[in-house]
Structure 1
Amino acid sequence: MSETELPDLERDEAVEQGDQPAPNQLDEDDRLKPAFVAAVLDAVEDGDVDAARALVAPLHPADIADLFELTPEDRRRDLAAAIADQLDADVFAEMNDYVRESLIDALDARQVADIASELDTDDAVAIIEDMDVEDQREVLRAMEPDDRAAIEEALSYPEESAGRLMQRDLVAVPEHWTVGDALDYLRGHDELTTDFWEIFVVDPAHRPVGTCALSWILRTPRGIAMADVMQREQTLIPVDMDQEEVALRFQKYALISAAVVDGSGRLVGMITVDDIVHIIQQEAGEDVLRLSGAGEGDINEPIRLTVRTRVAWLVVNLGATILSASVVGIFQGEIARFALLAALMPIVSALGGNAGTQTLAVMVRALATNQLTSSNTVRMLFREFRIALCNGIALGTVGAVGSYLVLGHLQLSIVFAIAMMINSVVAGLVGVVVPVALDKANVDPAVSSAVFVTTATDVMGFLSFLGLAALWGLSG
C-alpha cells in the first residue's frame, strides 16, 4: 500500500513517531547531508555492501568524491572497498588531493595504472606527481607505453606549469585540408577525444597556424579550405608558462581552449577552460591563506603539516611583536609618568595595521592579476599615498575629538591625531613598497608581505605616538 493509500490515523502515527523515508528514497537535495552520509557508512559498517552501493549509485562522480571528504579518515578505506566498482577514474579526478593520496596508498601499482590510463593526461599527472619516486616508477612500468610516455613527458615539466596542466588529446588537421576532409576525419576516427570545442590547424612542422571553432566547420560548405575558414590570430601557451599566468590569459582573452607549444613552437597539447576554473579558485585561495600564514588551509591536510606551517609563521610574528615591544620599552619612563599613553597607543598601532592590510590586499591582487607593473608602480604609490593621507586626516580628526570627549586632555588628543595620520601614511606606503619589492626579488608577496607590513605599522605607531608625547612633555 502506498503512502497516499494509508489511512489518516496510520499516517498521523508515522509522522508523530518521526519516521523518515528510507535512505535510498532520499530526494536529490538530501544527498550528502549528514543523514545520507550516516546511512551509507552504517551500511558499510553492517557489511551490507548492496545497500551502500544502491545509495551511492545515483551520485555524480564529484558527489562521490565529496562523500569521501565527508567520511572520517579512518573509515574511508572501508567505504572504498565497499563501493570499489563505483570508484572509477572520474571520482579520483574530482577528489581532494589529500583524500585521494590516502586512498591511492591503499592500491597496488596495477590498480593505480588502470585508473590513470582512463583519465586525461592532466588528471593522471595530478594523481601520480605526488607519489614517491619509487611508487611513480612502479606505476609507470605497469602502464601502456603510449600512456607512460605522455605522463613521463608531463612530469618532466616544472610543477604548476602549462606542461603539467595540458591535455595531450586534441584534434589537429593540416592547413591544406578542406572542411569536408576535416569532417570526414572527425567521423571516421572513434579514438579521437570527445572533449574539444575547436580544431587546431597546423603546418607540416606541426606548428599551429590557426584555430577553427566546431560551429564554423558545421556551417561551412565542404569544399572550403581550412586555411580560409580558420582564425589565424590565436593565443599560444608556452609549455613552461606558470599556471597562474595561463589562467590570466584565459581570463583576459575570454578563451575556451588554447594550444600549448614547446620551445620550437610545435603543438604539444591544449588547455581547456574547465581546468582554468580550478586553477583560478586554487590560486585565489592560496593567496588569501598565505596572507594569514595558514598554509594551504585544506581541512583534509594532515595535522602535522598544518601545525608546521602555522607555527613557523607564528614564530616570525612573535619576533616582530618583540621588536614592537622593544620600542615601547624605550619610552617606559613616559608611560610611567602618564598612564593614559598606554590606553591609546594600541589604537594607533591597530588602525595602522588595518590600513596596511587593506593596501597590501589590493597590491597583492594587483600583482597576481598583472594590474600592477613596472610602468604604473610609481603612479600607484602616489595614489595610495593620497588615500592614506585622507584616511589619516579623517581618523585623526575623529580620534582627537573622541579622545578629548572621553579623557578631556587636549594635548594628548592632538598627539593622538598626529600619530594616527603619520601611521596611516606609513601603512599606505609600506603596503605598496613591500609587496612590489618582494615581487622584484622573486619572492611570493602573498607569503611574506604581511609580517613586514604589520611590523612596520606597529613600530611606527608606537614610535610616533610615544615619541611625540615625549617631545611634547606630556605628563599626568
Structure 2
Amino acid sequence: MAETDLEDRDVEAPVSGERVQGEGEQFDEENRLKPEFVEQVREALYDEIEDSVYDLVEPLHPADIADLFELLDRRERTDLAAAITDLMSSEVVAELNDYVREDMVESLPHGAVADIVDQLDTDDAVQLIEDLDHADQQAILAEVEPEDRAAIENALAYPEESAGRLMQRELVAVPESMTVGDLIDYLRAEDQLTTEFWEVFVVDHRFHPVGTCQLSWVLRTPRDVALTDVMKRDQTLIPTDMDQEEVALRFQKYALISAAVVDESGRLVGQLTVDDIVHIISEEAGEDALLMSGAGEGDINEPLRDAYSARVRWLVANLGTAVVASAIIAFFGGAIEQLVALAVLMPIVASIGGNAGTQTMAVTVRAIAMNQLTKSNTKRLVIRELKVALMNGVTVAVLIGLATSAIFDWQLGAVIALAMVINIIVSGMAGVLVPVAFERMDQDPAVASSVFVTMITDSMGFFAFLGLAVASGLVSL
C-alpha cells in the first residue's frame, strides 16, 4: 500500500473570518442557533435595518438560514426574505420545512420564485411548487426556462410520493459502444452535464439501461477497455410509479448510492440518489409514529386548522370506541357496587393490556413498513407474539396476584391474575391481527390500528376481570 507523508505537504490554514459549519457565536454546544442570535435578527427586522439583518445572516450556512426561517413567525419570514434576497439561494429553499417553504413561495413574486426554480434540480423544483394552487403553478412556470418547465410539468404528471415525482432528470448516460477512454473524453468535453453524480448509466440503442459504471472504476481502468467489460450489469431499476416508501426500502436493502428510474417501456428517464432517500426514510418513520397516535403530520409549522382537523377526528373515533368499554362497566355496575376493590383494580388490568397491545402493534406496523412481514410469515409472527404475550401475562399475573392477595384476599388475587393473562394474550393478538387486517385491505395499518387495538384491550380487560369476579362467586350481577 502506498504511503503519503502528509507532513511534507503544504496544508492551507483556514482563512481568517471563515468558520467551520455549526461553530461560532451564533450556535450553542448542540449546533443550534442561540436564542440570543435569533432575537438579534428579530430586533433588526423590527427596526427595519436591512443591512444589519444581512450582516447577521450572511455568515450562516444555507441549512442554518433555513433553520432561522423556521424559528421566526410568518410575518418575520417575509421580512427576512426581503432583507436577504441575495442569500435566498436554491440551497436555502431546498432545506426549508414544507410548510415554511409554501408560506415563503406564496409571499414572493412569481418572477422571484421562477428565478429560484431555474437554479434547482428538477426534484427540488417540483417539491417547491407542487403544493401551490394550479393558477400559481402556471404563473410561475410561465416565467421558467422552457426546458426546465417541460421537465417540471412532466414530473407533476406523476402521482405524489412516487419515484417519477421524486426523481432527478439530471444524469449521465452513455451508449454501450464506448470505451473507458471515450467516456473520460466525453465527461471532460461536455460542459452541459450535471456537475454532481456518482455513477454513469450505460444504455442500449433504445435508451434502456444495461449497466452502470462507478466513477472510481472509470478512473482506475485503462482507456482501451470497453465499458461493457467493466460495467456492472446487475442493477436495481425503479419504476416511475413505485411508492417512495418502497423505493427507500430498495435503497436500504441493496445499499444503493443511486438507481435508475425507468418508465413503462423500460426507458431510462431519471435517477434517484441516496441523499433524497435519507429524507424519505426520516419522513416515513416519523409519519408512521404520528399516524399511530392520530396526530396527523405532527409538524409544528402545520397550519392550526389542519392540525385541528387531523387530530379531532381520531379523538371522536376514540370517544365512540370508549363507549363500548363504558357499556361493559355499566353492565357489571351491580357487581362493582358490592365490592369496591373491583373499581380500584379495573384500571390496572386495562392499562397493562393496553401497553401490551401497543408494544405488539408497534412491532407489527414496523415489520409491515419494512417489508419484513408478508403472507408467507404471518402465521409465524402470530405464534411468536402469542408466546411472548403468554410469558408476559404469566409474569405480570404472578406479581399482581400476590400483591392483591396480600392487600385484599387470595380469591380476588386469583381472579385478577387470570384476567391479566387473558387480557395480555388478547391484546397481543389484537396488536398483530388488526394491523395485518388493515394491510390486507390495502389500508395504511398505522392510521387506525391504535383506535381498534385500544378498544379491544380496554373492553376485554374490563369484561375478563368483572366476568371472572362474577363467575367465581365473589359478587353477583
Name the residue aligned to 1:40: 41
1:277-292 aligned within 5 A: 277-292=278-293
Residue 28 of structure 1: how far off its partner (Å): 5.6
User: What letter matches 1:68 in structure 2?
Assistant: F
In 2, the alpha carbon distance for the partners of 1:360 and 1:64 equals 39
Using structure 1 for the length normalisation, give the TM-score: 0.93
Alignment deviations for residues 45-100 of structure 1 (CA, whole Å, 9 cap, x no partner): 22221221111111111110000001122311111111111112211110001111
Name the residue aligned to 2:364: 363
Name the residue aligned to 1:272: 273
Name the residue aligned to 1:412: 412
User: What letter matches 2:446 in structure 1?
Assistant: A
Question: What SS does the aligned partner of 1:277 have?
Answer: helix
Question: What SS does the aligned partner of 2:213 have?
Answer: strand
In 2, the alpha carbon distance for the partners of 1:443 and 1:367 equals 12
Name the residue aligned to 1:250: 251
Name the residue aligned to 1:73: 74
Name the residue aligned to 1:29: 27
Residue 103 of structure 1: how far off its partner (Å): 1.0
Alignment deviations for residues 204-250 of structure 1 (CA, whole Å, 9 cap, x no partner): 00000000000000011111111111000001101110000000010
In 1, the alpha carbon distance for the partners of 2:365 and 2:318 equals 20
Gaps of 5+ in 2: 1-22
Whether contact under 8 Å (2:123, 2:168) holds in the other structure is: yes
Name the residue aligned to 1:237: 238
Question: What SS does the aligned partner of 2:144 have?
Answer: coil
In 2, the alpha carbon distance for the partners of 1:239 and 1:475 equals 65
User: What letter matches 2:315 in structure 1?
Assistant: L
Name the residue aligned to 1:178: 179
C-alpha change, 1:464 and 1:161, in structure 2 (3 Å) is same
In 2, the alpha carbon distance for the partners of 1:274 and 1:234 equals 19
Residue 471 of structure 1: how far off its partner (Å): 1.1
In 2, the alpha carbon distance for the partners of 1:269 and 1:406 equals 70
Name the residue aligned to 2:303: 302
User: What letter matches 2:92 in structure 1?
Assistant: V
Residue 322 of structure 1: how far off its partner (Å): 1.1
In 1, the alpha carbon distance for the partners of 2:76 and 2:27 equals 24
User: What letter matches 2:460 in structure 1?
Assistant: M
In 1, the alpha carbon distance for the partners of 2:186 and 2:24 equals 46
Which one is further off, 279-288 or 38-47?
38-47
Alignment deviations for residues 350-383 of structure 1 (CA, whole Å, 9 cap, x no partner): 1100000000000000000000011000000000
Name the residue aligned to 2:105: 104
Residue 108 of structure 1: how far off its partner (Å): 2.1
Question: What SS does the aligned partner of 2:200 have?
Answer: strand
Residue 26 of structure 1: how far off its partner (Å): 5.0
Name the residue aligned to 1:10: none
In 1, the alpha carbon distance for the partners of 2:192 and 2:283 equals 32
1:105-144 aligned within 5 A: 105-144=106-145
Question: What SS does the aligned partner of 2:27 have?
Answer: helix
Name the residue aligned to 2:160: 159
Alignment deviations for residues 4-47 of structure 1 (CA, whole Å, 9 cap, x no partner): xxxxxxxxxxxxxxxxxxxxx95363472111111122122222
User: What letter matches 2:150 in structure 1?
Assistant: A
Name the residue aligned to 1:446: 446
Question: What SS does the aligned partner of 1:51 have?
Answer: helix
Question: What SS does the aligned partner of 2:225 have?
Answer: coil
Name the residue aligned to 1:470: 470
Q: Structure 1 runs of 4+ off > 4 angstroms?
A: none
User: What letter matches 1:350 in structure 2?
Assistant: S
In 2, the alpha carbon distance for the partners of 1:265 and 1:146 equals 23
In 1, the alpha carbon distance for the partners of 2:412 and 2:404 equals 8
Does 2:327 correspond to 1:329?
no
In 1, the alpha carbon distance for the partners of 2:141 and 2:255 equals 36
Name the residue aligned to 2:188: 187
Using structure 2 for the length normalisation, give the TM-score: 0.93
In 2, the alpha carbon distance for the partners of 1:242 and 1:53 equals 41
In 2, the alpha carbon distance for the partners of 1:364 and 1:26 equals 43
User: What letter matches 1:100 in structure 2?
Assistant: R
Name the residue aligned to 1:201: 202
In 2, the alpha carbon distance for the partners of 1:396 and 1:99 equals 51
1:395-434 aligned within 5 A: 395-407=396-408, 409-434=409-434
Whether contact under 8 Å (2:257, 2:273) holds in the other structure is: yes
In 2, the alpha carbon distance for the partners of 1:27 and 1:135 equals 40
In 2, the alpha carbon distance for the partners of 1:436 and 1:379 equals 13
Question: What SS does the aligned partner of 1:462 have?
Answer: helix
- Coordinate RMSD, CA, aligned: 1.2
